Amino acid sequence: MKWDAWSLVFTGLSLTCVTSAVLFLLVAMNPKDASYGTTPLIYAGGSVALAVAFNRASAWAARQARSA
């Protein structure tokens, strides 16, 4: 049961990172202030990287739950 819970936690974190990446891309497309520069794109890239990492962690936890 423990690994099932971790899998759900990692899936939720992955989905949250996907949402934040989309929001940062939207801010990059329509910034309220010109001083933002490329910062939203950097944050979006970091969010995508974290989303992939959490997705892989979720898959790993799911495999652990099946084998336990």
| pLDDT for residue 68 | 74
- In terms of residue numbers, what domain contains 14? 2-67
- pTM over 0.85? The answer is yes
What does the mean pLDDT of the chain come to? 96
Q: What digits encode the pLDDT tens for the residues 42-65? A: 999 999 999 999 999 999 999 999
Q: What digits encode the pLDDT tens for the residues 16-27? A: 999 999 999 999
Give the Cα separation of 28 and 43 in Å (integer): 10
For CA atoms 44, 48, 51, 57, the dihedral sign is negative
Q: How many distinct structural domains can be found in the chain? A: 1
Residue 35's Cα: distance from chain center in Å?
25
